[in-house]
Amino acid sequence: MDKNAKLDSSFSQATLWRQEAIDLRAVLLACGLAEELKWGKPCYTHDGRNICLIQRMKGFLALLFFKGALLDDPDGILEPQGPNSRQDYRARFTSTGDVARMAGSIQACVRQAIAVNSTGLKVRKAAELAYPDELLQTFDEDPAFKDAFEALTPGRRRGYLLHFAGAKKSATRAARIERYRQDILGGRGLHDRG
């Protein structure tokens, strides 16, 4: 149990999912995980490798497992974050009873996640996505924009490509590209606004 005292106040003073997060923290620390603050959230690691993190969402508390797609989930507690999620899967909690009821399943997932990391398993790479013509045209017109887009992490590029290509009309694709121009130039992903 490597409890990080620096996180105590964030757990005790939280207003959203306070007790659920405290209970979940206890389950994770009982698994022998180290606790750190990463991406502004409590993150749990083993031998320096990320295992999971707690996310406070509006409608639920989530426990996100990095490489969750590689875990067996006999109790069915894990779900992809969205329709295009490939790697990270999460469990949802809306009460302290949920945390207590799923404690054994969480511990089993933690054990598997540690094993996955120790064996070096990786999620298969996603198929390359096609770049919409409107994006290629924008690259031709603005090389700095192209450089900024290519400098994004693969996941951020994928998120933008899915969003841009999801529009049926060319004008909508072009408008989406323009809407996110400054975010891309600033190195931010589709969901990094705040």
CATH number of 5-119: 3.90.1150.200
> What is residue 191's predicted lDDT score, i.e. its pLDDT?
79
Measure the CA–CA gap between 73 and 76, rounded to whole angstroms: 5
pLDDT band of 170, cuts 50, 70, 90: very high
| Contacts (Cβ under 8 Å, ≥6 apart) of 180 | 160, 163, 190
User: Which alpha helices (H) appear in 54-180, and where do they start and end?
Assistant: 96-119, 133-141, 143-151, 154-165, 170-179
Could you report the per-residue pLDDT of 89-115, keeping only the tens digit for each? 999 999 999 999 999 999 999 999 999
Please, are residues 84 and 97 in contact by the beta-carbon 8 Å criterion?
Answer: no
> Hey, CA dihedral for 42, 44, 47, 49, is it positive or negative?
negative
Mean pLDDT for the chain overall: 90
Segments making up each domain of the chain, as ranges? 5-119, 133-185
Q: Kindly state the average pLDDT of the residues 156-185.
A: 93
Could you report the per-residue pLDDT of 27-86, keeping only the tens digit for each? 999 999 999 999 889 999 999 999 999 999 999 999 999 998 889 988 999 998 876 666
pTM, 2 dp: 0.69
For residue 149, give the nearest of 184, 124, 120 by alpha carbon.
Answer: 184
**Phi-psi region at 187: left, alpha or beta (left = phi > 0; alpha = psi -120 to 50):** left
Please, are residues 135 and 164 in contact by the beta-carbon 8 Å criterion?
Answer: yes
Give long-range contacts, CB 8 A cutoff, 24+ apart: 81-88: 84/158, 84/159, 84/162, 86/123, 86/126, 87/123, 88/64
Is the pLDDT score of 129 beyond 90?
no
Strand partners of residue 188? none
> Rounded to 10 degrees, what is the CA torsion of 19, 25, 26, 28?
150
Please, are residues 129 and 166 in contact by the beta-carbon 8 Å criterion?
Answer: no
For residue 31, give the nearest of 63, 68, 2 by alpha carbon.
Answer: 2
Q: At what angle do helices 143-151 and 154-165 cross, to 10 degrees?
A: 120
